[in-house]
C-alpha cells in the first residue's frame, strides 16, 4: 500500500470508530466534496467548551489536516485565525505537545480533540503562542476570563 493509502486506511478506521463512539458535543467528520465524495485528509470538527469553565457554551470550529505520512506524523490542527488562546498562534494553529514532540502514531482523532478541549481551560503558559493572550493571563486574569467568555458567545452552536 502506498503511504497515502496507509493514511487513508487509518483515517477510514478512525471515522468508523468515531461514528460508533465519540464524546458528547464533539463533531469530527471528513470534508464532503462538491461531487459528494469524502476527503479523508481534511476533517471539520467542533470542540465544545467544557461545562463549568469559562469556555462553556462555546462550540469551537477546528480543522484537522492530515498528510500522506499520517499516522507517522501528526495532523495540523487549526482554529479560525485570531482565536484567543495562549497556545494557539494568530494563524489558528494549535501548539500542543501531542501534536509535536510527544506525537505517537497510536494517538487517535478522539484523543487529539479531547486533548485540545483540555488545553482550552488548562493552557500551558510556558509554551505561549500569543503574546497578548499570555500577558492578560499573567497580569489580568479577570480580563483574560472575560475575553474567553466573550469568545464562547461568538461560537454558540455546532456546524
What is the tens place of the pLDDT at every residue in 92-109? 999 999 999 999 999 999
* CA atoms of 18 and 23, how far apart (whole Å): 9
131-139 and 141-154 are packed helices; what angle lies between their axes, rounded to 10 degrees? 130
**Domain that residue 14 falls in:** 3-154
pLDDT band at 154 (very low <50, low <70, confident <90, very high): very high
Q: Is the confidence at residue 56, as pLDDT, over 90?
A: yes
Q: Is the confidence at residue 12, as pLDDT, over 70?
A: yes
Residue 159 lies in a domain: no
- pLDDT given for residue 142 in this prediction: 98
DSSP-based three-state secondary structure for 129 = coil
CB atoms within 10 A of CB 51: 9
Query: In the chain, how many domains are there?
Result: 1
Rounded to an integer, the average pLDDT of 76-83 is 97
Identify whether 95 is a catalytic site residue: yes
Round the average pLDDT of the chain to a whole number and report it: 94
Residue 143 lies in a domain: yes
Q: Give me the CATH number covering residue 114.
A: 3.10.110.10
- pLDDT given for residue 157 in this prediction: 73
Residue 33 lies in a domain: yes
Residue 32: beta bridge partners? 38
Q: Which of 45, 77, 95, 133 is catalytic?
A: 95
Rounded to an integer, the average pLDDT of 70-85 is 97
pTM as predicted: 0.94
Rounded to an integer, the average pLDDT of 117-145 is 96
Residue 51 lies in a domain: yes
* CA atoms of 10 and 126, how far apart (whole Å): 33
Q: Is the confidence at residue 2, as pLDDT, over 70?
A: no
pLDDT band at 68 (very low <50, low <70, confident <90, very high): very high
- pLDDT given for residue 4 in this prediction: 77
Amino acid at each position: 500500500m502506498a503511504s497515502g493509502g496507509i493514511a487513508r486506511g487509518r483515517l477510514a478506521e478512525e471515522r468508523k470508530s468515531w461514528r460508533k463512539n465519540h464524546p458528547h458535543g464533539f463533531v469530527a467528520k471528513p470534508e464532503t466534496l462538491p461531487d459528494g465524495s469524502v476527503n479523508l485528509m481534511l476533517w471539520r470538527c467542533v470542540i465544545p467548551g467544557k461545562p463549568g469553565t469559562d469556555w462553556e457554551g462555546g462550540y469551537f470550529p477546528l480543522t484537522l489536516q492530515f498528510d500522506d505520512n499520517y499516522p507517522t506524523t501528526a495532523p495540523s490542527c487549526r482554529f479560525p485565525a485570531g482565536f484567543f488562546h495562549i497556545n494557539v498562534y494568530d494563524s489558528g494553529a494549535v501548539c500542543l505537545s501531542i501534536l509535536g514532540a510527544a506525537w505517537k502514531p497510536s494517538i487517535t482523532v478522539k484523543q487529539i480533540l479531547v486533548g485540545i478541549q483540555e488545553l482550552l481551560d488548562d493552557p500551558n503558559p510556558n509554551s505561549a503562542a500569543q503574546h497578548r493572550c499570555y500577558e492578560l493571563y499573567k497580569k489580568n486574569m479577570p480580563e483574560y476570563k472575560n475575553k474567553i467568555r466573550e469568545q464562547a458567545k461568538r461560537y454558540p452552536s455546532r456546524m
